[in-house]
Structure 1
Amino acid sequence: MYRAHGVSTAPLTRAQTRRAFVIPKELKTKGRGLDGRRRLEIYHYLLLGWYHDSIADFAGVSVSEVYAIKRNLKLYSSTRKPSNPDVVLGRPRKIGPKDK
């Protein structure tokens, strides 16, 4: 039978059996980049423990895109960065009169 490269055959640990499979929430986006289905597919392979280059080859994306999705999952609990105006990232654009 076929087995995915990089997937462990060892039994799951106690923490892995207690953790439910959670689909990450989708944030409001501008519709650019990868479609949601492909991002969810990459997320699934990351959970399975595949190597980043194997995921990139199988999904047809660059390795940097796989790393970006992994980073976004850590920072925002989603496969995409937030693009709505309610979320403030970085410093303000200019100093106002209140800051002087």
Structure 2
Amino acid sequence: MGDQLFKSSVETTLKVIGGKWKLVILCHLLDDAKRFGELKRGMPDITQKMLTQQLRELEDDGIIHREVFVQVPPKVEYSLTEYGRTMEEVLDVMAGWGQQHHERTEV
């Protein structure tokens, strides 16, 4: 697993989902679509600017879909694309590792 293709693939993955917030956003969108305000309330430590930026990057990479509803007031929802749903397995593995790590380091 230490070959160059493996390292390059991990680097590519991190370019798409790396950073503090993208994986958290994906976790929030696993169950259903969310409005911007719902995402913001679910992640109180993220700034509005950072949330907007992370959502745009995930949309540009085809991981999430942004749907604008024509109504007054305007309504925008974010959801995982079919391609974005392929991240669920990655999130499950990460959650399992995180739980094991937490148990291991618990005092």
Normalised by the shorter chain, which TM-score bucket?
0.3 to 0.5
Q: Which has the higher contact order (CA 8 A, sep 6+)?
A: 1
The structure where helix makes up a greater share of residues is 2
TM-score (norm 1): 0.34
The structure where strand makes up a greater share of residues is 2
Bigger Rg, which one: 1
